[in-house]
Amino acid sequence: MSLLSQINLYIQRAELLNILTVFSKELINNFARKNGTLKRQRKVAIAELLSALLTYASTNQNSNNITFTLNGFHKCYSDMFGIDISSKALHNRLRSEGLLEVMKNTIENLSMLVKDDTNETGLKLLEAYRQSVGVNDIIMVDGSEISLRYSAYDNFNCKAKTRNPDKTNPDKKSAAIKLHTGFSIVNNMPTHIDITEAVANEREHLSPDIYEQVLYLCDRGYVSEALYLLLISKGHYFIFRGKENCAYKIIHAMDGNGATLHEFEGCKPCQHLNGSKYPLVDMAVQVNDDTVLRMIRIYNPVDDKFNYFITNIDASRVAASVIADTYRTRWSCEIMFKALKSSNSLCSINSSIKEIILLFIYASIGSYLVKKLIAKQLQKKKRDDQRKKREISLLKMASSIRDIGPLLKAMVKGAKSTIYNEISKFEGLLDSMMRTKPSQRDIDLKKDVSLLVDKIYNTHHMTKDFLIPHKIDVTIKA
């Protein structure tokens, strides 16, 4: 089985957690006793171990070769808590499967405190789509690979997509794992993470059962007729980046002004490639004998190519140009991966043991969430008019906040005054975390999510442009 681990950060938890309790020894020990990880008092406290892992992930950054190493973590742990423990004893503690579950539970608890309910960009986009199709969230799905040591291949399922580049030893098998991640633009954070071997089918990791009527944004690697039907059966909407060579049959087409294009009927979407005459074509396509969906072809002058998008959102509800712009907001998910890899050590892991590899991945995600928690607390404390209008850049936040060790030590002890004193030490970094004016290149390439959402939101209120009277029926026959 290729699935190695799952994290559900979308779940609503019954516990009333706060910044004082989420990393407390009492809470973590209670869970550790329940799952059998903690059976007797140990020299290495679990809460301290987890906080040291997150600290190590947050500080081991901005180098050309960011790699998790056990020696590096051993030094970090000793420096934080002054406990003399052998590398072997620490190594044995880390490879416990029960510890992995404790870390996972802690990260899921932490995510409840980090959800951003003041993200103006996400809330704007949600409002536009909530009024048009009634969705509760907008989930971007993407994957990212992490390379592993060759020896990991022999220990668990971690087959890489790429071949072994070492020509001197062709018998070596390349090893890698993949993080299949859902990202909510509304809460500005990951919602679910499936960890699998790199060759796993990414279409199997959208987790449609944990969401209720959301809009999925997926790249062309997820295109699948079976997946379309699954998402529709669960009550979800979707926008997929389509493939140019698809064999769908056009049964109806119109241009950007709503005029019917009879010459497209019966053709494939890739035909009639006259970009100057037809820069935008909105089509109803026969996906198979029983399914009709909507496909949009739009000319991209930047790379002189056509982009294709397939959706189950009716043309009478959302205009074709808005569908294309909405898909481009997926850039937010890629920014999160960039932040994890460049500032939270999620690049390469120098171990071949599955439990330790997964633990280090969790630590990277956890350190990223702690940084988000710090930024959220700082914004609450200084909610002046100027900062209300500006949003935090996830990339700048991750790189600006580095050593979270003192804060985590205070959270483990549950020392309220010390916790808030440690958070206040980051106040001077708040301005450097804020989004600045986008570059002209990002504007031209439509990579600035905030500008894209403003355009979508403003178009939404221009009803005759956002909602067009020409209806293309999107039907799924029984």
Of 345 and 385, which is predicted with more confidence?
345
pLDDT band at residue 17 under the 50/70/90 scheme: confident
* Cα Rg of the chain (Å, integer): 24
Which residues, including other chains, have CB under 8 Å from residue 272's CB and lie 6 or more apart? 263, 264, 278, 281
User: Mean pLDDT, to the nearest integer, of 50-70?
Assistant: 74
| 62-66, 118-122, 179-183, 300-304: segment of lowest average pLDDT | 62-66
Of 111 and 65, which is predicted with more confidence?
111
pLDDT (0 to 100) of residue 469: 41
- Round the average pLDDT of the chain to a whole number and report it: 85
Which residues, including other chains, have CB under 8 Å from residue 285's CB and lie 6 or more apart? 248, 249, 250, 251, 269, 292, 293, 294, 295, 310
In which element (H, E) is residue 300 found?
A: strand 291-300
- Is-contact 369 189, C-beta < 8 A? yes
User: Mean pLDDT, to the nearest integer, of 83-100?
Assistant: 86
| 40-54, 134-148, 448-462: segment of lowest average pLDDT | 448-462
Task: Give the torsion sign (CA, 338, 344, 346, 350).
Answer: positive
Percentage of the chain beyond pLDDT 70 is 87
pLDDT (0 to 100) of residue 465: 46
pLDDT (0 to 100) of residue 309: 96
Max mean pLDDT range (93-107, 203-217, 247-261): 203-217
- Is-contact 321 456, C-beta < 8 A? no
Listing DSSP states for 333-357 in one string gives HHHHHHHHHHHS--SEE----HHHH
Cα separation values, 99 from 49, 63, 461, Å: 10, 29, 51
pLDDT (0 to 100) of residue 206: 93
pLDDT (0 to 100) of residue 164: 62
For residue range 177-231, list pLDDT tens digits in order.
999 999 999 888 899 999 999 999 999 999 999 999 999 999 999 999 999 999 9
Gap between the Cα atoms of 325 and 170, Å rounded: 45
Which residues, including other chains, have CB under 8 Å from residue 202's CB and lie 6 or more apart? 143, 178, 180, 221, 222
User: Mean pLDDT, to the nearest integer, of 153-180?
Assistant: 80
Gap between the Cα atoms of 425 and 428, Å rounded: 7
User: Mean pLDDT, to the nearest integer, of 38-57?
Assistant: 86
pLDDT at 169 over 80: no
| 205-209, 261-265, 423-427: segment of lowest average pLDDT | 261-265
pLDDT at 421 over 70: yes
DSSP β-ladder status, 175-184 and 138-148? antiparallel
For residue range 117-152, list pLDDT tens digits in order.
668 888 999 999 998 999 999 999 999 999 898 889
Overall residue count recorded for the chain in this entry: 478
pLDDT at 66 over 80: no
- DSSP class of residue 267 equals S
For residue range 353-390, list pLDDT tens digits in order.
999 999 999 999 999 999 999 998 888 876 654 545 56
pLDDT (0 to 100) of residue 418: 94
